[in-house]
Amino acid sequence: MPPLRGARARLRSRRDRRLRAEREVERIFELSATLLGVAGFDGYLRRFNPAFGTFGYSGEELLSRPWIDFAHPDDRERMLNAAASLAGGEDVVYLENRVVCRDGSVRWVEWSTRVVPEEELFYVAGRDVTQTRVAAQEQAALRRVATLVAQARAPEHVFGAVTEEVGRLLGVERADMLRYEPDRTTTHVASWSPGGPPAVPVEAMRLGGENAATRVWDTGAPVRIDSYAAATGAGGEYARVNGFGSSVAAPISVEGRLWGAVIAASKRERGLPPSAEERLAQFTALVAMAIANAEARAELTASRARIVATGDEARRRLRRDLHDGAQQRLVQTILELRLARQALDGSGDAQRMVEQALATAEAANAQLRELAQGILPGALSDAGIGGGIRDLLSRVGLPVSVDVTTERLPRTVEANAYFVVAEALTNVVKHASATRAHVAAEVDGEQLRLEISDDGVGGAHPGRGSGLVGLADRVEALGGELIITSPPGAGTALRVTLPLEPPETA
């Protein structure tokens, strides 16, 4: 082959290889699931591959607007700092930000760049990590709620936390939790909206029509409404008036019964991510657990309160039976023996026998009176907590100062406050080696505050000894609280609060 012809052949071969390589690069660029683009230092995209279509913008929109416009407002400062680094010729190896899509949703993207300073361009490659980020956020939110449930926090606290977690996770404008009532109405128990104070809960609404709350009531299953344009009923009307376009909802089922629902509402039609209702159901399962736990605790507390109330009533009945029965008969026997002694002539064995019988009857009456006082003091029934405690102190055998209310309280509260003071002073006398003690009782709003303190050896521990354990059980059974402060060598102080309205015992 002549030299010229060979050179032309080699040129054609190189050109063909270059064209094939360019077509291959173009094919990779067009078909890659990775976001690939070229941008200028002026802040505008020059070129991008079809993967950018995930954001929902047209090609014209992507090319005609600065790329910073598409960043989430909270990320823009960070993105501008990265742009300054690129303009200075520094590659940005890793940058994660949120891109606001055309429909208002948000995608998380992890970017890397390569700068070509002489052309005032940089090449970008982005990986959509939305699912990974959302999954991590969801698991973190579920852990936070599960922790509240495990800590036995009040259901109201869990309700508020769940609505906020759901609202933030799904990126909606409002999240509500409602309870279904037997008359087919709803009561809102928690609400959340972003960017300000908590949303004012909507008023109770009657079920009916085509809306999220009614569909959950009818089906007992998660539901999705992608448009409220044709929704009906009170829920549909509320959504339209307030500009909501779509929602998802999931039921709260407590031990087989439908208790309520959580609803997340967006102002965009079809604006909620796929499977959002199933994800929402994970949170409602935790809510159901919190409610079931709270109901179990309430039932246990009510059961313990019933036991305490039954015991107190048994004491009252026993004291009444003793007073009206055995004591009355003993008093009558004593009177008759005294009359018999007067009728005798004062001589012989009969006189001695009557004297002995009278002494025995009087001793039995004194013991019976003391037993009745131990069961439930008469002073407590007659004069309330103040009278009962002062009567108690007459038998303690230790100097005790008193600052006790004279206000009459519910019988159950008076009786239990008395027994708390009695048990506490018994412990002082037995174990504290104290020289004096102090008892205070005052009404503070809807509760009675008690304090029993001494100057003894201290070191008391609620887990040691049946006395303090019994005290704690009694107080907790009535919905109260017992706090013990007992540093070694510095005395002991028991502070007790008892609600004036004990837990429901019905």
Looking at residue 33, what is its pLDDT? 83
Give per-residue pLDDT as tens, 20-76: 655 665 676 777 888 988 898 898 998 898 899 889 999 999 999 999 999 998 898
Q: Reduce the DSSP state of residue 350 to 3 states and report it.
A: helix
Give per-residue pLDDT as tens, 46-62: 889 889 988 999 999 99
Q: Are strands 400-404 and 437-444 parallel, antiparallel or unpaired?
A: parallel
Looking at residue 57, what is its pLDDT? 92
Give per-residue pLDDT as tens, 303-347: 555 555 655 655 555 555 555 555 566 666 767 667 666 767 656
Which residues make Cβ contacts (< 8 Å) with residue 152, sequence separation at least 6? Answer: 293, 297
Looking at residue 397, what is its pLDDT? 78
32-128 belongs to which homologous superfamily? PAS domain (3.30.450.20)
Provide the terminal-to-terminal Cα distance of the chain, rounded to the nearest Å.
111
Q: What is the DSSP letter of 447?
A: E
Looking at residue 506, what is its pLDDT? 43
Mean pLDDT of 144-160: 81
Give per-residue pLDDT as tens, 429-475: 888 888 889 989 898 888 889 898 999 888 877 655 546 676 777 77
Percent of the chain, pLDDT > 70?
74
Quick one: which H or E segment has residue 46?
strand 45-48
Enumerate long-range contacts of 450-453, CB under 8 Å, 24 or more apart: 450/417, 450/420, 450/421, 450/494, 450/495, 450/496, 450/497, 450/498, 451/493, 451/494, 451/495, 451/496, 452/420, 452/421, 452/424, 452/425, 452/428, 452/493, 452/494, 452/496, 453/491, 453/492, 453/493, 453/494
Give per-residue pLDDT as tens, 255-277: 888 998 989 998 887 778 778 88
Distance CA 436, CA 456 (A): 8
Of 228, 124, 126, nearest to 174 (Cα)?
228
Looking at residue 58, what is its pLDDT? 92
Higher pLDDT, 356 or 135: 135
Of 255, 253, 246, nearest to 212 (Cα)?
246
Domain locations in the chain?
A: 32-128, 133-294, 377-506
Q: What's the CATH fold of domain 377-506? A: Heat Shock Protein 90 (3.30.565)
Mean pLDDT of 154-182: 86
- Residue type for position 429: V
Angle at 169 between CA 165 and CA 174, to 5 degrees: 70
The answer to whether the beta carbons of residues 365 and 395 sit under 8 Å apart is: no
- According to the CATH classification, is domain 133-294 in 3.20.20.70? no
Backbone angles phi, psi at 406, to 5 degrees: -100, 0
Distance CA 437, CA 399 (A): 6
Higher pLDDT, 474 or 109: 109
Phi-psi region at 368: left, alpha or beta (left = phi > 0; alpha = psi -120 to 50): alpha
Burial of 261 (0-12, 13-18, 19+ CB in 10 A): buried
Arithmetic mean of pLDDT over the chain: 79
Looking at residue 374, what is its pLDDT? 54
Of 28, 32, 27, 22, nearest to 126 (Cα)?
32
Phi-psi region at 7: left, alpha or beta (left = phi > 0; alpha = psi -120 to 50): alpha
Backbone angles phi, psi at 89, to 5 degrees: 90, 10
Looking at residue 214, what is its pLDDT? 92
The answer to whether the beta carbons of residues 471 and 494 sit under 8 Å apart is: yes
Q: Sorting pLDDT into bands at 50, 70 and 90, what band is 218?
A: very high
Q: Sorting pLDDT into bands at 50, 70 and 90, what band is 505?
A: very low
Distance CA 312, CA 126 (A): 73
Percent of the chain, pLDDT > 90?
9
- Residue type for position 39: A
Give per-residue pLDDT as tens, 172-194: 889 998 999 988 999 888 888 88
Mean pLDDT of 213-223: 92
Distance CA 451, CA 405 (A): 12
Q: Do domains 32-128 and 133-294 have the same CATH topology?
A: yes
The answer, yes or no, to whether residue 1 has pLDDT greater than 60, is no
Distance CA 460, CA 465 (A): 9
